[in-house]
Chains A and B, each alone.
Chain A
Amino acid sequence: MKRDILGRLPDFQLRGVNVRDMRSLAYGLGIALSLVLSYGAVPTGPAVGESVPDFRLQDQKGTYQTLRSILGPKGALLVFYRSADW
């Protein structure tokens, strides 16, 4: 489903809500301002203080790893990077 740059769905894909009314309300509440302020910043996922989503992925040897299996007694560094190939 196509989303715009802020990750919002086009109006017609939001079923059951009058999108225009919601927008006016949002403006009234100043939510639009926060949207404008966050525009352009890179999304960085879970915030400090939040739990990260669990996962089950294979490592370079083909062994399955989960969030639990990579966590050490004090926690972990979890790195997301572009590619190991380019």
Chain B
Amino acid sequence: MTAIEPLRGFPSVTVQFCAPDRRYEPLQPINIRYQIDLPAGSTVRAIERSILWYTEGKGEEDLGIHIFERITEPTALTAATAAGGFTALLPRSPLSYEGLIVKIRWCVRVRLFFAGGRDFVSEHVFDLGRVPAALSRPIASSP
């Protein structure tokens, strides 16, 4: 379970993964539950829930969406803003990877759009696959 200490004026998002160690295998279902505590007086106009991978490291960030859902309908939005959950079947690739200059991370994101135009993203990383991390030092630089 991931809980974020609330900051003054910011929402608090708690996410619960079905696998306690947040490690999943390819083609395995993932079940996410979340809970949001909004600061007093804030008005949410949309919420986006997604499962995605992105790259980190020396290169520009690349991003691939696996599951994306945007909720703007008032009734559904009210329910989804308090708490919710979603289930998905994870894909075969790309697997989580901890390289030297390329890293691949999988995460669940819950993004809230407020009436004033600002947004807030809560990101919760998990692992897909069991690829070990690369060596801490490169063997060689290619020509």
* A and B: interacting chains: no
Q: Which residues of A contact B (CB under 8 A)?
A: none
Q: Which residues of B contact A (CB under 8 A)?
A: none
